[in-house]
Amino acid sequence: MDRLTPSPDKPLAIFHRRLDFRVFGLDQDRMRVTAELDDLMHHFILTVDVRAPEMVITAVTLEIPRYPNRRCLLIRPVLDRLLGLKIERGFTEQVKAFLHGPRGCTNVFNLVIAAVPLAVNTRDTLPYFFGEQDFRESRDKMKAVMKDQCIAWSGEIED
Per residue in 149-159, pLDDT (tens digit) is: 778 777 777 76
The reported pLDDT for the residue numbered 19 is: 97
What is the rounded distance in angstroms from the CA atom of residue 127 to the CA atom of residue 50? 15
The reported pLDDT for the residue numbered 1 is: 47
More confident residue, 130 or 91: 91
More confident residue, 33 or 134: 33
Closest-CA residue to 111 (of 40, 13, 3, 17): 17
pTM for this model (two decimals): 0.83
Closest-CA residue to 98 (of 86, 84, 109): 109
- CA dihedral of residues 110, 111, 112, 117 (deg, nearest 10): 100
